[in-house]
Each structure stands twice: as C-alpha cells, then as structure tokens.
Amino acid sequence: MSHPLKHWFESQKQTRKFHPAWIALAVSATLGVAGIIWVPAELVSRAEAPTAHPPPPPAADNKEMHPADMPTVIEQTPGPARLRGAKTIRVDFSPPADAAMPTDEFGEAVRLGKNIFTDTQTYARGYVGNKLNCVNCHLDAGRKRDSAPLWAAYVMFPAYRDKNKHVNSYEERLAGCFRFSMNGKAPAPDSKEMIALISYSYWLAKGAPTGIALKGRGYPKLADPQQPPDEGRGKLVFEANCALCHGADGQGTQVSGRYVFPPLWGQNSFNGGAGMSQIKNAAAFIHANMPLGKGNTLSEQQAWDVAKYMNSHARPPDPRLAKSS
Amino acid sequence: MVHADRLAGAALAQKGSKGVPACMACHGANGEGQTASGFPRLAGQPEAYLLKQLQAFAGGQRKNSQMAPIASALDAQQMRDAADYYASLPGWRPQGQTRAPSPQYALGLRLATSGNWSKDVPACFACHGPGGAGVAPHFPALAGQPSVYTRSQMKAWQTATRTNDPQGLMQSVAEKMTDAEFDAVSLYLEHPSLDEKGK
C-alpha cells in the first residue's frame, strides 16, 4: 500500500485521537481510489461532455486524500460488486422545459408520449388493467428526481436486470411497468404508444451523458430498518398521513370517474409482480415522495412500516405465477 | 345528531337571524362571493369543508375579524344548516369572458397544472382536483375564487396565521412559494382555463 493514504492512516494511528471508525473510513477510501482507477476513462470523458452540466467529475489523478474528499466512483449499470461501499458521484442533469418541446413530427411523438405517461387511462387504455397512470409513481410527468425519472432511466439502457436475468432494452423496461405496475400488457415495440414513450424519454434525456447514473435516478434506497417493518405501526402511519387522500380503505379518491388520488391496493392497483409490491421499493418511493408535497418528512422507519402495511393487502396476482398454476 | 336543514340554511343566508347578519350581504346572493372586496365564494364547496371553517372561526384556529364574531354567534345546528345549503349550490363554471393572455397568467396556469417541482411544490390541481373544482370532503374548490381572497389565504399559510390545514399540507405548499407566484396563481384561479390564451 504505497499510497499517501497509508501515511495518513499511520499518522492517525500514532495520535491519541485514533478511533476504530477511522479504519472503516480508510478502507472505503482505498476502495474508492481503486474504483477511480478501474472506471474506464471513456466514462469520465463522457461525463465532461459539454452538453451536460456535471459538477467537475472526479479527477483520476487525485493526489490528496483528505477524509473530506470522499472517495468517488461513477456508477454504472449494473454496479460492479467490487465498488460496493465506495461513495458514488452522480452527474447533475436537468431535462429541458416543456416549452422547448419541438413542434415538428418528432415533437408530435414526444407530446403523445407525455400524454400517455400522464393519462395512461385515456391514451393507452387498451394496455392497462388497473386504474393507475404512469405518472402516479413517476411524479411531475416523469421528471421529478428521486421518483425514477425517465431522463435518468433512458440513458442507462440496455442494462442487465436481475428480475428477468437478461440484458433488457429500454422498450423491455417500459414493458415491465405495463405488465406489472399497470397490471396490463405491453404495447408492441413498434406500436405508436411505445414509439411515443421512447420519444418522450429520449427528448427529456437530451444532452445527458449516456451510461452514467444521473443524480436523482430511481428511488433513493433506504438503509435497512432498525426494527423489522411492522404492519400494526404502519397502519397508524397510514391513518395519520395517507388516508386523507388515498382513502381510509386505500382505494383512492375519484372525481367524476377519474382518480385524483390513486388506489394503493385492491383490484385497481399495481399487481403482485410490480416493483412497488416489494417493500424496499415502496418504502423508498414513499419516503422520498409521500405525503404529496411533503417528501422526506416521514422517518425511514415510518416509511418501512407503512410500506409493509400497504403491501399486506390483497392486489392482483403476479401474472408470472398465475401462468404456471 | 340532528340533520342539517337546507331550508333553514337558505333562510339564514338570505335574512340572517337574531344577532347574525345575512351571509349574502358579503358572500353574494347565490354564494358566488365578491370579486372586488375578496369575499370568498361559498357555493358548491364541500359541506364538510365549510362546516370545518365555521368551527375554526368560532374556535379561533382561523382568524378573521369579520367572520369570527359571525361564526361565534351561530349554534352548531345553524352551522350545519348553512354548510349544507351552500354546498348544495352549483360550483363555479367558466362564464365565457376571456382573460387577456399574459406571462403572469401563463405562470399561474403552470403552477396550477404542473406545480414547481424544483422546489417540491405539487400542482394545485393534484390536490384540489382537475380544473380546481375541489375534491370532497377535504379539498375545497379554488376555481372562481376572487384573486384577492386566494392571495390572502396563501399569505396566511406562509406566515402561519392560518394553521387549520390537515397535515400542514397547505403550509408546506405556501412556504415554498414567492409573492410573484402567489399573484400569478391567484390571478389564474379567479378564471382558470386550460390553455394559455385564457379561453
């Protein structure tokens, strides 16, 4: 270990301020440096592309390693296991404003994509088996950070997914949400619906570096809960924070036949194969995004508990299980 | 519990009763409010919402020098009657007069229909329903409300002089907004429409 870190590490050991936690810090710092060297130079140069607005990406020739200069890597899909524990640098990106939407033929497809996304019940009605719209789980028309925004997803595909154990195209990823989250069936890859959704995503991601995890991707993962998620506690969280909008029975609230507040369980909600039916995804979404407009106000434990409570109710079955029975 | 009596509510609205002025003097002959003075529209609001506000004025959780003494003079039955009556009147409908398109109106439309998520402000209509027509029982209609009134309530939440909103939902919206945004969204909500031309 012929590294400046070692000297720092040694010097810390001499002083009385030494604390066991420093070891963990030093180890992760070293891992981080390994990561920097490992990440292909191509990624770094793409992150510097003039069209994006990244914070200065980590320089691979970082000489000084103060504890404050956190070790950094750029995350890829899938995250290489050997980098686990190293802090991730995520590149900042903002999608274009709606007003900048083109007006040509491509713009038409983009606009249709947005309509499908925000009003799936109308614009892709034949492919939907519940009462949800894509936007219900991907807020602000698929733009909001930390609610799995489309612009951050688009640049990460094709990608390998554990869920189906192969490399997925972006179309396949969209198809997954149709089949499970929307409890429906996916439009064909060359259908106007699919082309429109891809056009919208592509337009939102315009100028973003590809293959790099952008800041705000997905739902921010929570640390493991301190106490096992508990339905009973979750019910109390639900009654105090969610029932006002989603209804005491979780069935949402409608105005003249349309859901203003979507159903959280039951026949009109996502099915048992959906990402949201996994407690860790639901807890992450809820913590960052609910109650609406008050994201990040529940404690993490409350988010775990209410996610457990939500997913303890009946919902349409996972279609993969139904088939084999 | 006694049922609300809509006819008694109508009588109260039109004639008042002992020690209580007629509501229509301020809230309009049909509960439509008064644009210039900013007296709010009551017609078509959710019954539970109206009742809650009368109780809040009487109980001091909502402060207003004109409404507080009136609400305090009403008994529980009169509050229910009045709420039932006003809830039964038709809600706001666009009246055909057009609004001049302006950048301010366009900003208001954007806030109402999309929000400002860069500051975690959801669309007003995400909670207040499509077109701002309200979502009973908890979310009042905003459409057709005098802009003076809407603005004053936004300001009241921002400065925590109105604090009776469930879960602090409105306060968390208002505290993230600017005065210019209050102006724009209040203007828009007085006569909302779905395109930027004000039709």
> Which of B111, B142, B172, B177 should one mutate to test binding to chain A, selecting the residue with the greatest count of A CBs within 10 A?
B172
Cα(A231)–Cα(B101) distance, rounded to whole angstroms?
51
Q: Looking at the structure, tell me whether residues A115 and A183 fall in a common domain.
A: yes
Contacts of A244 in chain B (CB under 8 A): 138, 166-167
Q: What pTM value is reported for the model?
A: 0.87
Chain B nearest CA to A36, separation (Å) = 31
C-alpha–C-alpha distance, residues A298 and A242, integer Å: 11
- Where is A73: in which H helix or E strand? strand A73-74
The C-alpha atoms of residue B29 and residue B20 are separated, in whole angstroms, by: 16
Is B125 within 8 Å of B194 (Cβ atoms)? no
Contact A293 B121 (CB under 8 A): yes
A114 and A185 in a single domain? The answer is: yes
State the count of interchain CB pairs (< 8 A) between A and B: 45
pLDDT of residue B193: 86
Domain end among A186, A204, A222: A204
Q: Identify whether A123 is part of a domain.
A: yes
Question: Has residue A306 been placed in a domain?
Answer: yes
Q: Does B173 touch chain A (CB under 8 A)?
A: yes
Does A11 map to a domain? no
Domain range enclosing A269: 231-324
pLDDT of residue B25: 97
A258/B115 Cβ within 8 A: no
Residue A187 CB partners (closer than 8 Å, separation 6+): A124, A127, A178, A193, A194
Q: What is the CA radius of gyration of chain B?
A: 17
Residue B4, both tokens = 């609300």
Q: How far apart are the first and last CA of chain B?
A: 46
Q: Cβ contact (<8 Å) for A140 and B117? A: yes
In-domain check, residue A156: yes
Asked if residue A14 belongs to a domain, the reply is no
Q: From the list B114, B129, B167, which residue is nearest A255 (CB)?
A: B129
Q: Do A260 and B130 touch (CB under 8 A)?
A: yes
CA–CA separation, B150 and B148 (whole Å): 6
Q: Assess B138–A contact: CB distance below 8 Å, yes or no.
A: yes
Say yes or no: A266 and A191 in one domain: no
Residue A168: the pLDDT is: 96
Q: Would you say residue A137 lies in a domain?
A: yes
**Residues A196 and A108 grouped into a single domain:** yes
Q: What backbone torsions phi and psi does residue A159 show, to the nearest 5 degrees?
A: -150, 150
- Residue B149 CA to residue B163 CA, distance in Å, equals 16
Q: Which residues in A lie closer than 8 A to residue B103 (C-beta atoms)?
A: none
What value does the mean pLDDT of chain A take? 82
pLDDT confidence of residue A60: 37
Digit-by-digit pLDDT tens for chain A (325 residues) are 445 555 544 555 444 444 545 545 444 554 444 444 444 434 433 433 334 444 444 433 333 334 444 444 444 444 433 344 445 567 999 999 999 999 999 999 999 999 999 999 999 999 999 999 999 999 999 999 999 999 999 999 999 999 999 999 999 999 999 999 999 999 999 999 999 999 999 999 999 999 889 999 999 999 999 999 999 999 999 999 999 999 999 999 999 899 999 999 999 999 999 999 999 999 999 999 999 999 999 999 999 999 999 999 999 999 998 654 4
CB contact under 8 A, B168 and A140: no
pLDDT of residue A40: 41
Looking at the complex, report in whole angstroms how far the Cα of residue B157 sits from the nearest Cα belonging to chain A.
Answer: 15
Interface touch B135/A139, C-beta < 8 Å: no
Q: How many domains does the structure of chain A reveal?
A: 2
Task: Please answer yes or no on whether B114 and A292 come within 8 Å at the CB atom.
Answer: no
Q: Are residues A186 and A246 in the same domain?
A: no
Alpha carbons B47 and B38: distance in angstroms, whole number? 21
Please choose, from the candidates A38, A44, A46, the residue with its C-alpha nearest in 3D space to the C-alpha of residue A58: A44
What integer pLDDT is reported at residue A77 of this predicted model? 45
What's the pLDDT at B2?
Answer: 64
Rounded distance between C-alpha atoms, residue A301 and residue A281, angstroms = 14
Whole-number pLDDT of residue A6: 52
8 A C-beta contact, residue A212 and residue A184: no
How far does A142 lie from chain B, in Å, by closest CA? 11
**Do A247 and A287 share a domain, yes or no?**
yes
| Closest to A132 (Cα-Cα) out of A293, A239, A252 | A252
Q: Using DSSP bridges, classify how beta strands A73-74 and A88-89 pair: parallel, antiparallel or unpaired.
A: parallel
In a domain, A50, yes or no: no
By C-alpha distance, the chain A residue nearest B165 is: A244
Its ipTM equals 0.94
Contact in structure between A107 and A117 (CB atoms under 8 Å): no
Residue A78 corresponds to which tokens in the numbers above? Answer: 């899938």
Look at residue A172 and tell me if it is in a domain: yes
pLDDT tens for B118-163 read 999 999 999 999 999 999 999 999 999 999 999 999 999 999 999 9
pLDDT of residue A266: 98
Can you list the domains of chain B with their CATH numbers? 6-88 (1.10.760.10), 103-190 (1.10.760.10)
The answer on A199 and A104 residing in a single domain is: yes
> What is the pLDDT, as a whole number, of residue A7?
57
Checking A150-153 for CB contacts under 8 A at 24+ apart, the result is A150/A117, A150/A200, A150/A201, A150/A204, A150/A205, A151/A93, A151/A95, A151/A201, A151/A204, A151/A205, A151/A208, A151/A214, A152/A93, A152/A205, A152/A208, A152/A213, A152/A214, A152/A216, A152/A217, A152/A218, A153/A201, A153/A217
Pair A102, A198 in one domain: yes
CATH number at residue A170: 1.10.760.10
pLDDT at A90: 77
**What is the Cα–Cα distance from A119 to A133, expressed in whole angstroms?**
6
Nearest to B166 among A139, A141, A244 (CB): A244
Spell out which chain A residues touch chain B, with contact meaning CB-CB distance below 8 angstroms: 98, 139-141, 143-144, 240-241, 244-245, 253, 255, 258, 260-261, 291-295
What residues in chain B have per-residue pLDDT under 70? 1-2, 97-98, 194-199
